[in-house]
Structure 1
Amino acid sequence: MFNNGSPDIKLIAKTFEDAFTIDLGDFYHTFIELKARKMNRTKFLDSLCEALIKSMDEI
C-alpha cells in the first residue's frame, strides 16, 4: 500500500528501484503506454494472480 491508497507513480517506481537495486528508466512513459492499452492493461499482474491460485489449488 502506497500513500494510503493514493499512490504517485514516481513513489511506486522509486520504491521498487530502491528495493530491487534496479533502474526502471523512463517509468512514466511505460505507465502511459500501459494506461493507453485497450485490452488487458494488467496482463502481467493477472498472470501472477493465476499462477498463485494454481499453486494454491495444487497444494
Structure 2
Amino acid sequence: MFGRLGGTELIVILVVGFLIFGPKKLPEIGKSFGDTIREFKKSAKATEDEIKEAVEMESIKEN
C-alpha cells in the first residue's frame, strides 16, 4: 500500500509543488533532491563496501 506511488499520487504531489514553489523553482528543487539522493546512495554503497571488506579481513585473520 505504501511501497509505491501511483500516477494520481504523483500528480497531486506535482500540483502541490507548483502551488507552493511555483513552476520556476520546482525544477531546481527536483535537481537538488536528485543530487541528494544520488550522493546518499553513493555514500551507502561506500559504507557497505567498507563493511564487507572489514568482514573479509576479519575472516582471513581467523583462518
TM-score of Structure 1 vs Structure 2, range by shorter chain = 0.3 to 0.5
Report 1 or 2 for greater relative contact order, CA contacts < 8 Å, sequence distance ≥ 6. 1
TM-score of the pair, normalised by structure 1: 0.42
- In the superposition, the TM-score normalised over structure 2's length comes to 0.40
Q: Which structure: greater helix fraction?
A: 2
